[in-house]
C-alpha cells in the first residue's frame, strides 16, 4: 500500500499550524508536507518533526507574494534574482528539515510577456536551481495544476511538465503528479502514471469534484492505490484535500 503524508496546510485546520504536527502523528501519519515553511524558524519546525516522530517529505519553493495572489515566480523575467535568492532559502529550510524534495511553482501567465520569453526564463531558472539542489541531495519537482482552481497557471498538463523536464535536461528535475489536478485536466490516470513513473517521486491526492477526501467523488482510489503497488511506486502520496468535516472524521478512507 502506498505511503501517505498529511498535508498540514489543508488538514487539521481545526487547530493552529504548529499544533497540526501533533495531530497528524496522533492520527497515525508518519510523514507530512505543507505549502511553505518560511513563516517559521527552521529549527522550530525541525523540533516539531522530531518530537512527534515525523518526517518532512515535501514543501514548495518561495512563491512570491502568496497573499497577494502570486503562485510562483519561476516564469517571470524580471524576478530572476528573487528566484535565485529563493533557491538559497529553499536549501536552508529543506536541509534543516531533512526534506528530500521541493516543488517549484511555475507561476501565473502574465498577459503582456511573450510566451517564448516566459518559457525560456522558466527553463533557465530550473537549470540554475536543479544542480544546486542536487549538491544538497534535494530533488527539484515541478507541478501541473488545473486552470479551474488556479486560472492562468502556466503548467496545466502532464505533457507540458514532461516537455519542460526534457528541455531543462537535468537529472535532478522531476514531476510532482497530482491525481486531482490531472483527473480534471486529462483523465487517463493509470496509463499516464505508468508511462511517467520514472519521473514521479511524489504524488498528491484529492477527490473530484470538490477537492475533498477520497471516497467523496469520482476517482476510484482503492483501485488506484492497488495499481500503484503493482507499478512498484515507492514515493509518498500527499493528502492535499479539503476535509468535508473535521480532518479526523474524514480519515476513514485511509487503508489500514
Q: Residue 256 pLDDT > 80, yes or no?
A: no
- What span, in angstroms and rounded, lies between the C-alpha atoms of 86 and 92? 10
* pLDDT, tens only, 107-148: 999 999 999 999 999 999 999 999 999 999 999 999 999 999
- Nearest C-alpha neighbor of 104 from the set 149, 150, 38, 155: 155
pTM for this predicted structure: 0.97
What residue spans define the domains of the chain? 3-253
CATH number of 3-253: 3.20.20.150
Q: What is the pLDDT of residue 220?
A: 98
159: helix, coil or strand?
helix
What is the mean pLDDT of the segment spanning 212-230? 98
* pLDDT, tens only, 74-106: 999 999 999 999 999 999 999 999 999 999 999
Question: Cell triple for residue 90?
Answer: 529553499
What does each C-alpha distance from 228 to 136, 166, 215, 236 come to in angstroms? 29, 24, 17, 11
Confidence label for 151 from pLDDT (cuts 50, 70 and 90): very high
Annotated active-site positions, please?
A: 143, 240
Amino acid at each position: 500500500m502506498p505511503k501517505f503524508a498529511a498535508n498540514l496546510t489543508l488538514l487539521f485546520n481545526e487547530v493552529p499550524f504548529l499544533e497540526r504536527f501533533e495531530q497528524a502523528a496522533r492520527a497515525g501519519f508518519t510523514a507530512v508536507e505543507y505549502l511553505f515553511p518560511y513563516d517559521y524558524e527552521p529549527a522550530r519546525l525541525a523540533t516539531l518533526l522530531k518530537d512527534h516522530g515525523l518526517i518532512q517529505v515535501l514543501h514548495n519553493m518561495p512563491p512570491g507574494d502568496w497573499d497577494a495572489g502570486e503562485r510562483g515566480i519561476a516564469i517571470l523575467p524580471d524576478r530572476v534574482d528573487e528566484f535565485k535568492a529563493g533557491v538559497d532559502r529553499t536549501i536552508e529550510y529543506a536541509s534543516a528539515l531533512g526534506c528530500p524534495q521541493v516543488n517549484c511553482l511555475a507561476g501565473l501567465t502574465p498577459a503582456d510577456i511573450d510566451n517564448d520569453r516566459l518559457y525560456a526564463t522558466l527553463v533557465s531558472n530550473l537549470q540554475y536551481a536543479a544542480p544546486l539542489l542536487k549538491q544538497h541531495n534535494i530533488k527539484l519537482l515541478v507541478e501541473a495544476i488545473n486552470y479551474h482552481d488556479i486560472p492562468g497557471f502556466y503548467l496545466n498538463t502532464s505533457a507540458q511538465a514532461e516537455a519542460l523536464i526534457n528541455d531543462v535536461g537535468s537529472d535532478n528535475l522531476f514531476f510532482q503528479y497530482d491525481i486531482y489536478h490531472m483527473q480534471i485536466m486529462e483523465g487517463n490516470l493509470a496509463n499516464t502514471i505508468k508511462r511517467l513513473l520514472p519521473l514521479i517521486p511524489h504524488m498528491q491526492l484529492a477527490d473530484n469534484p470538490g477537492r475533498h477526501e477520497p471516497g467523496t467523488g469520482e476517482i476510484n482510489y482503492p483501485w488506484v492505490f492497488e495499481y500503484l503497488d503493482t507499478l512498484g511506486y515507492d514515493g509518498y502520496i500527499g493528502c492535499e484535500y479539503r476535509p468535508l468535516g473535521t480532518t479526523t472524521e474524514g480519515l476513514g478512507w485511509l487503508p489500514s
